A = this chain, B = another copy of it.
Amino acid sequence: MPERLIYLPLGGAGEIGMNAYVYGYGEPGKERLIVVDLGVTFGDMDSAPGIDLIMPDVAWLEQNRDRIEAVFITHAHEDHIGGLGYLWPRIQKPVHCRKFTGALGRLKMEELGLSTDAIKIHEPRPAVIEVGPFKVQFVPLSHSIPESSALIIDTPAGRIVHTGDFKLDGTPIVGEPFDPIAWHEIAHEEQGIKVLVCDSTNIFSPNPGRSEAMLANPLLDFITQQKQLVVATTFASNVARLKTLAEAGVAAGRKICLLGRAMRRMVTVANETGVLTNFPGVISPEDASELPRDKVLLIVTGSQGERRAASAQLSRGRYLGLELKEGDSFLFSSSTIPGNERGVIRIMNALSVKGVDVYDTTDGFYHVSGHANRPDIEAVHELLKPQIVIPMHGEHMHLREHAKLAEARGITSVVATNGSVLDLTGDKPRVVDQIDTGRLYLDGNALIGAMDGVVRDRIRMALNGHAMVSVIIDEEDNALPDAWVETMGLPERGRAGVPLVRHIEEELAEFLERADDRTVQSDERMEEAIRKITRQVTMEEIGKKPEVSVIISRLAAE
């Protein structure tokens, strides 16, 4: 059978989050595989209450573990590396990355008690990592975290460029600038680029992206104008922004204090790995609290409204000895990820109650995106001249728009979402298979399947409330005439004015008294009847049907 080149997204194609992509080369069904990124996404109350992390189901990878050569991590954002510690035990192959990413990856492995031996650190291009039929190079690209890298994946069927997350920034403050000459070279050596698998996040942003360096002056002006304490929040991993903010603070005559574990960790790792140099000295919260208010800049976590991060804590009251006051200034040097609006607004209002003036990036002065905008994506198509464009890192509407853009430029393109297996060997990509994909939920420390019903039941309890019924069947298979009912998350009284629980108990007692042997002897029949009565009474009383759990205790004859 002829060999073929395949592409299979397991996460990140049809959603923004939990990126995981598979490339394979070899005979159909026997392709040797590499995995690019093992990310997570975050649950929300609407779709995954109580779930700590969501990651791609890697069952297919587990089943095909002997075919996997290695894992590559493009950069250390959680949606690319966050699943590493949880999923690695199911894959157990070498993990290749650059040093900053690797340092954070090691921490993730250590936190879960895993060895860090699998993590292999590499220099960027021209260094080449040979794994099975693949020759892979890390190529620096700018993004909102240091060391984000595209992968050049050379295969017997041609060259793939997998962009990872990127923007075109010639002056990124931290990390390597975008290097058009290097990319021109990449596009023209070998046989040129067969497939560009490309970030689609900002495909709907019509203007060219702006450089991180453009923020230095506006931020300095902003901080200089403030008369009291200034707090700035941004993504902890945006090390370049932290540096820009810190330098602006120092230039405005302030001391810098970092709040938030994630942020301090990022700066430490960035320093230790040498990707961050000349970061201004920082002071402790205790020292900050003793300085005059106009001499301090706090740089804090929680730009997305996270309830337990420093921003939220400061908005609620005293935190680590620091307290915001009327006339202080709070800057969101960040954009709000869709879905996080409520949390951010909650903080803004809490700050307003304290008399703190809130500034955000409405005018674009205090934040730039880490992703390539539409004209930048077009420029990349132009520069790399790929034969095929496969949009990734986007919801369906982003992928579709990106594919339309490529097609309009005469480049073959296809929307491939999670689970689609594309054969990239020929001139046009062909969907050759559809793999069952899904999501794993981290709940506490248990990994459960998204379709296991656990989360479905939680959502139902949250929407409908929960009634629990206990009935007892004695040693002679007779139902005791009493039922014990408890409710949780249901109104205490309904239409009849009597306690709902008592009303249900009365109806159940009546049922138990006349239940025939056939019913009493079957758990299933009993449960069905009890559930029905409980739901009926509750419906009459409060107009909605609760979830019902029935516990039947059968007393054993002694």
Contact = CB atoms under 8 A, between A and B. Distances in A.
Interface stretch (A151-159, A238-246, A445-453): A445-453
A352 B417 CA distance: 12
A121 interface: no
Given A345-B338, A455-B489, A543-B444, A466 B472 contact: no
A518 to B, nearest CB: 22
Nearest to A206: B362
A49 to B, nearest CB: 4
A127 interface: no
A383 interface: no
Interface stretch (A224-232, A262-270, A480-488): A480-488
A468 interface: yes
A352 B397 contact: yes
B462 A50 contact: yes
Given A339-B342, A468-B551, A445 B488 contact: no
Contacts of A549: 468, 486, 488
A118 interface: no
Contacts of A446: 491, 493-495, 541-543
Describe A's contact surface by its main secondary structure: mixed
Interface in A351-366: 351-353, 355, 358, 362
Interface residues on A, range: 35 or more
B486 A443 contact: no
Contacts of A543: 444-446
A461 interface: yes
Given A472-B553, A551-B484, A461 B458 contact: yes
A335 to B, nearest CB: 13
A184 B553 CA distance: 78
Contact of A353 (B49, B339, B396, B452): B396
A464 interface: yes
A358 B463 contact: no
A283 interface: no
Interface string A538-549: 010111100101
Interface string A381-407: 000000000000001110010000000
A341 interface: yes
14 contacts: A49-B463, A50-B462, A339-B345, A341-B341, A351-B397, A352-B397, A355-B400, A444-B544, A446-B543, A461-B488, A461-B489, A482-B553, A484-B553, A553-B553
Given A446-B494, A448-B491, A472-B472, 7 more contacts: A341-B341, A445-B495, A446-B541, A446-B543, A454-B492, A457-B489, A470-B553
